Structure 1
Amino acid sequence: MSISARLNEYLNDNNVDYELVPHPHSFSSLSSAIAANISPAQLAKAVILEDHEGRRMMAVLPANHKISLRNLGDKLNRDLRLIEEKEVYDMFSDCHKGAIPSLGEVYNLEAVYDDLLVEAKEIYIEAGDHNTLVHLSREDFVKLIKDAKHLHFSHQSIH
């Protein structure tokens, strides 16, 4: 697969230069970073949430961090929960299960990005399979997420 069709179209429509970074098959964002020999702090992983009114959103944070649902919910004044994996698979039908590109706009999802990602010099995101990452410059990543919310809502889980 390499890159999801929707992600490819979105990046091209926004005139974003990117590089595909192949890596050995992996099963999580953290293992993708290790397999690609990049810092997990530079890999943006997506977590799909639902609030108390059934609204879905994408929370994006570094691969070596864990989301704090309570912290994020308090900041957004919403009760948040993780959605079931099957529901996630249905939402991202052009991707392999669990390899979600972390740009909410590609999938018409409200998104919130952890402030830590904006500090990274370069950003990598899942391309839609378990063997490829998309490498973006910090400037292009910031341009793509400029209209989204930016908050600090995670804590480091792996050093």
Structure 2
Amino acid sequence: MSIARKLKAYLDREHVHYDVLPHPEAFRAIEIARALHAPEKELAKVVIMKVDARFVMTVLPAGWLVDLHRLRDVFRTHHVRLATEEEFKDLFPDCELGAMPPFGNLYGLDVYADRSLTEDEQIIFQAGTHSEAIRMRYMDFASLVFPVVAEFHQLHSTVR
């Protein structure tokens, strides 16, 4: 499978420079970072959240975890939890399950990017498959997605 159709069409239509990075099949962001010899902080992972009755896409560095307490403050509700794959599998029809790119805007989802991602010049993320990633400038990503930037990560711990 090649990169997600919607993503490729969008990036090409917007004339944004990006590199497709093939890698051995991997299912965890940390494994992808290692396979690409990329800093874990530059590889972004997507975590789908259920906020009240809607789905929201959060994006944060590969080795970091979502802090639910911080997200409850961001969303100003106590009804925040990780969405299950079963719940969101149909939201990304052109992507392999769990390999969706951080372009929630292409799938009708609001995108929340952890503030730490804004510190790097580039961002690497899954391209809709478990064997390809995309590298592009963070500023290009931000200008296409318009994510809400907030701090909601916790470092190397368990999800709270």
Per the normalisation by structure 2, the TM-score is 0.91
How far did 1:141 drift?
Answer: 1.9
Work out the CA distance in 2 between the residues paired with 1:108 and 1:123: 22
Work out the CA distance in 2 between the residues paired with 1:61 and 1:34: 16
AA in 1 matched with 2:23: H
| Corresponding residue of 1:155 | 154
Whether 2:91 is the aligned partner of 1:88: answer no
Work out the CA distance in 1 between the residues paired with 2:74 and 2:143: 23
AA in 2 matched with 1:19: D
How far did 1:13 drift?
Answer: 2.5
Work out the CA distance in 2 between the residues paired with 1:142 and 1:103: 10
Work out the CA distance in 1 between the residues paired with 2:93 and 2:39: 28
AA in 2 matched with 1:62: P
Work out the CA distance in 1 between the residues paired with 2:138 and 2:81: 29
Work out the CA distance in 2 between the residues paired with 1:91 and 1:72: 22
* Unpaired stretches in structure 2, ≥5 consecutive residues: none
Whether 2:3 is the aligned partner of 1:14: answer no
Question: Contact conserved, 1:49 with 1:58, CA < 8 A, in 2?
Answer: yes
Q: Which runs of 4+ in 1 moved over 3 A?
A: none
How many residue pairs get matched? 156
CA RMSD, Structure 1 to Structure 2 (Å): 1.4
| Identical positions, percent | 34
Work out the CA distance in 2 between the residues paired with 1:82 and 1:49: 5
Question: Contact conserved, 2:99 with 2:130, CA < 8 A, in 1?
Answer: yes
Work out the CA distance in 2 between the residues paired with 1:99 and 1:31: 13
Per the normalisation by structure 1, the TM-score is 0.92
